A and B are shown apart, each in its own frame.
Chain A
Amino acid sequence: MPSQVFSVSEVKQLLAQGAQLVDVLGADEFERDHLPGAINIPLKQLDNGAVADLDRKRPVLVYCNDFG
């Protein structure tokens, strides 16, 4: 599986295959808008507790705001 994807169709394909979608932006920004089905784990809060609900056996698709 690729470590990076660039297109909407790739995202949809991964989600259809069971990938978990993680938004690493801040909580306020997440509350305003996010991709459907995403869960919010702000990058600064990333630790074992924050990822407790994620399945390590399934792919995790992460995104932030934009390039860079």
Chain B
Amino acid sequence: MRLETLGFTNVIDYVPGKLAWFEENQPREGKASDETWIGDVADADVPTCGLRERLGDVRARTADWDTCVVVSSERVVLGLLRKAELEGDPNATAEQVMRSGPKTFRPNVTLEELLKSMRDHDIQTNSLVTTGEGKLLGVISRADAEATLAHNGAETAPGI
């Protein structure tokens, strides 16, 4: 049965659905509100740069960060510069040295799930959080993920 058959004349379908809403880092209600999703804690202040920027210019404004995300004008992730790339030839462009297609996580992944993935794959560096369409929301470091989860008291088996 459909709403239209029950006398509703103005029924609109949000086609992408619930998962797409959460992948856009939009608010939620329900039991999951008690969980920490990585979109809740991702650091949006991570430095970004464009494809044609020179490493020397990028390095000058990345300050203490060892990560810079290469993004489009729409903030879609194109690549990643880690410490090794940032310390390279200052005249090289981001496009020439970036790591293409970096692994990204959606904002509705729980912090526990992300941390498990980091542990399983021995990831110590920043993980990128993007919307379903690839727009950068922020990054989470392994250290921050560990600290946040410990602070939340979510870990029930210390030492794992």
For residue A34, which residues in chain B have a CB less than 8 angstroms away from its CB? Answer: 18, 28-30
A16 to B21 alpha-carbon distance, docked (Å): 17
Q: Contact string, B1-34, partner A, CB cutoff 8 A, digits 1/0?
A: 1110011111111111111111010111111110
B28 touches A66 (CB 8 A): no
Partner of B32, one of A1, A14, A32, A66: A32
* Prevailing SS type, chain B contact patch: mixed
Task: Give the interface residue-count category, chain A.
Answer: 35 or more
Are A33 and B32 also in contact (CB < 8 A) when A25-B18, A65-B18 are? yes
B contact residues around A14 at 8 Å (CB): 12
- Given A32-B31, A33-B32, the answer on whether A3 and B21 have CB atoms closer than 8 Å is no
Check if B10 sits within 8 Å of A32, measured CB to CB. no
The answer to whether A5 and B12 have CB atoms under 8 Å apart is: yes
A62-B18 CB under 8 A given contacts A32-B30, A34-B29, A47-B6: no
The digit string for A33-54, where 1 denotes a CB below 8 A from any CB of B, is 1111110000000111001001
- The 8 Å CB contact of A33, one of B3, B11, B18, is B18
Minimum CB distance partner of B35 in chain A: A33
Binding site for A on B (CB under 8 A): 1-3, 6-22, 24, 26-33
State the 5 A-B residue pairs at the shortest beta-carbon distance, nearest first: A33-B32, A63-B14, A66-B17, A33-B30, A59-B10
A residues lining the B interface (CB < 8 Å): 1-6, 8, 10-11, 14, 19, 22-23, 25, 30-38, 46-48, 51, 54, 56, 58-67
